[in-house]
Amino acid sequence: MPSHAFDDARATSRRETVPAQRRPILARAPYSPWEAAEEMGLHIRYAPLRDSWAWWVPSRCLIIVADQLTHVEERCALAHEIEHARSNDDECSHSTALGRLCARRQEIRADEGAARKLIPVVDLEAVLRWATSPEEAAQELNVTEHMLRVRLRIRRRELECLDTLRIAG
């Protein structure tokens, strides 16, 4: 039995508001952070967090998720915390400049890893062909606007590398 509580009522999607001819054809089944957590043996618990959407507790193989999140927020927060678990991230001290730098690097790495898993490039490009706003694109991709911005930043870097290769060719 999964170690998480998932309420189908919270998993509502507004996919039906997008005309069928504009919907992307998904390359594969969407990434499920709940399944990934289960496969990794991670436990998920819900609590009334006030200053964060989720926390990774490495000593207990535990992810604590804020209990008032929407389905999309929960999906993105959980994917982010799973990336911390995959990287064996520990808490960095925020009392020193080096500790703050360590923490910032961990956060960027977790965001980027989560964004890559949550938004396959094929789906991103399909949605960007018709979406009229970042809000609409994020909604269709079932992610937060923050995760969409992170994925777009990664994609921009990837395309810049390809352009550099062509010039140096």
State pLDDT tens for residues 114-142: 999 999 999 999 999 999 999 999 999 99
> In the chain, how many domains are there?
1
| CATH code, domain carrying 39 | 1.10.10
**Considering the domain boundaries, does residue 2 fall inside one?**
no
Asked if residue 20 belongs to a domain, the reply is no
Question: Cα 149 to chain center, whole Å?
Answer: 11
Domain presence at residue 24:
no
Say which residues have a Cβ less than 8 Å from residue 18's Cβ, sequence separation at least 6: 140
Contact assessment for residue 55 and residue 49, using Cβ atoms and an 8 Å cutoff? yes
Q: With respect to residue 138, please indicate whether it lies within any of the assigned structural domains.
A: yes
Domain span including residue 53:
29-168
Determine, yes or no, domain membership for 7: no
> Is pLDDT of 97 > 80?
yes
Give this prediction's pTM: 0.79
Question: Is residue 154 domain-resident?
Answer: yes
